[in-house]
Structure 1
């Protein structure tokens, strides 16, 4: 396998392929620790825990979950009793999302599970390479967000 940044036509050297493989490895590690909560579900619970009640559009933006994925994701969290959804009394077109007490507890457990996954990656890469990777992935993710249709 080459280490150059250019795609040379082989799947093994394709950067997108390697990102997908890395994502699968991280998701598998997450699922071992948290079989009942997906990373996007955790992101929603975490954002609500940080910001309090939010409208659905703002929540999706802060959690980096697209609109087509967010509605069924929220419906699953409602069914589990982790969040509630209600109509904004000042704007009937807006849905407000609220973390329940059970949701607060699950978000706290999720934060511990996310820390365990981060420790696993740090043990694998070391702190300096992990910091570099995190910065690069954030930059790539931010660039992708700028290209999303609004």
Structure 2
């Protein structure tokens, strides 16, 4: 079965998570500089079978797009142009960074380790993907 990949795209960094072959468990893959995302994904897609990509959709509490939405919308256009065969699904990414930070605290990571913003982005992508998988099973 092909994998599903989740992207927490940001202005500086992009967190990436991926499912196992059975699409049951989400795992953090990496965090990369955002300007390298398309090249990284081209290399990854050449090695792995991915049929769907989830891309976070940042929203404010009232449901309106946040300030970073225009940057992410531009990335979605780049992605769909580069990989037209891969289905893209936008998912609400509200609270994923806060949930990622709380996960780091709950895991017992030291304060210095919790300041690693790259790890927060990767965990946020993993939370986004696992939430999608859970909703898909219901």
Q: TM-score, normalised by structure 1?
A: 0.26
Larger CA Rg, structure 1 vs 2:
1
TM-score, normalised with respect to structure 2:
0.27
**Larger relative contact order (Cα-Cα within 8 Å, sequence gap ≥ 6):** 2
